Structure 1
Amino acid sequence: MAKTDDYLPSQAEVDHVLYSKKSVNFTGVKWGPKPPPNRPLMWLQMQIIPTDQDDIPIQGLSFLLQWKPDHESQTVAGITYPKINLVALYNKKRIFAVDTYPFDKHKNSYRIDRPDYQDSVFGPHYHVYYEEAGYYSEKIGFPITSGIKPDDLVGYWNYFCNKLNVTCAGKIPIPLEDESGQIGLGL
């Protein structure tokens, strides 16, 4: 039986699904706890199925949004550093992702001929699929240089949507806020 890691979609297939026009609808969507075994209980997540221009779900494509509050404060007054991961999965293969934590270091294991390529990326970065990289196709990262604040989930979501040609109906819910806009006290 083949594993998800064995599946390598073609670059043309990935480019089509990534860059074609799509939309998401946040009506009724809420954050929930990320199921074990891979994350501690404080991680929240939501999964969204984007639709095409005819409002038909795009087969095999989903967006996984994950958020963890700042528990490792870097002692800068007024700034929090949650961990935010925004991922596009195509048939369970990561084809695009945004990792926002400003203290993360990502090491590229495969060299891509692009002007913004770096052997290591420190801070917020995005991953994009390259078929030529084979097994390393989902592990190639590039720096995000747009100056989005570390705790700006909406800013990173807009960056994700801009890169992938996504429009939204409604607003992305903010983790731990109830419908009144107040931060919740517990999970």
Structure 2
Amino acid sequence: MASIEDIIIPQQEINHIMAIEKQIHFKGATWGKKQKTQPYPYWLELKLPFFDSDGLPIPQLRAYFAYRPARRENLMPSMNFIAFYKNRRLFAIDQGEKLVHVNKITHVKPIAESRICGAHYHILHGKENQETGYLLDEKYQKSNDFFELMCYFLAKFNTVAVGQIPHPILSNNGQMELL
């Protein structure tokens, strides 16, 4: 049986999805536990569809956001902001402590380093059928501001937030942040 990595999305299609104006509707969106049985502090997730500028759902394109509060004092929370297209990770941002990403391919545009350390974003490359990771700008490397990183994700993915973005901790989900 074929795996999800066997699905090859043409680069022209990737470029089109990246370029079109998109919307995410946050009204009524609520965070939930990622898994029923997991240690505290647990991962929270939020799944939402993307819409085009006419308000119609974009087929096979969905957003997935994950958040886990810091496990100890003086650590950053872990955050993932992902756009899936045809069940492939098309674009994503990862933030957390001591993240390392190894790029299997580097001969793409923009040129990728073979290994990166720190907060980074991913782009799927159609011809190679691989993701490459790129470091986020320095100002985001130590950011634990959920809204700042969410806005960065939305801007890079040409997406407008409709409604108020719910904070994973402050949206009454039963989990508290370590201070």
Give TM class, smaller chain. 0.7 to 0.9
C-alpha displacement of 1:132: 2.3
Between the two proteins, the alignment pairs up a number of residues equal to 175
Q: Are positions 1:154 and 2:143 aligned together?
A: no
Q: Which residue of 2 aligns with 1:63?
A: 63
| 1:38-187 equivalences in 2 (<5 Å) | 42-73=42-73, 75=74, 80-114=75-109, 117-134=112-129, 137-138=130-131, 140-148=132-140, 149-178=142-171, 184-185=175-176
Structure 1 length as normaliser, TM-score? 0.84
Tell me how far apart the structure 1 counterparts of residues 135 and 105 of structure 2 sit (CA, whole Å): 15
Tell me how far apart the structure 1 counterparts of residues 95 and 31 of structure 2 sit (CA, whole Å): 18
Tell me how far apart the structure 2 counterparts of residues 185 and 157 of structure 1 sit (CA, whole Å): 20
The verdict on how the C-alpha distance between 1:113 and 1:185 changes in structure 2, with shifts beyond 3 A counting, is closer
Q: Are positions 1:4 and 2:4 aligned together?
A: yes
Residue segments in structure 1 that go unaligned for 5+ positions in a row: none
Tell me how far apart the structure 2 counterparts of residues 57 and 48 of structure 1 sit (CA, whole Å): 10
Tell me how far apart the structure 2 counterparts of residues 144 and 52 of structure 1 sit (CA, whole Å): 26
Looking at secondary structure, tell me which structure has more strand per residue: 2
The root-mean-square deviation of aligned C-alpha atoms, in Å, is 2.4
Tell me how far apart the structure 2 counterparts of residues 144 and 155 of structure 1 sit (CA, whole Å): 12
C-alpha displacement of 1:172: 1.4
The verdict on how the C-alpha distance between 1:53 and 1:70 changes in structure 2, with shifts beyond 3 A counting, is same
Structure 2 length as normaliser, TM-score? 0.87
Report if aligned partners of 1:177, 1:183 keep a CA contact under 8 Å in 2: no
Tell me how far apart the structure 2 counterparts of residues 121 and 109 of structure 1 sit (CA, whole Å): 12
The verdict on how the C-alpha distance between 1:184 and 1:67 changes in structure 2, with shifts beyond 3 A counting, is closer
Residue segments in structure 2 that go unaligned for 5+ positions in a row: none
Partner AA of 2:86 in structure 1: N
The verdict on how the C-alpha distance between 1:115 and 1:167 changes in structure 2, with shifts beyond 3 A counting, is closer
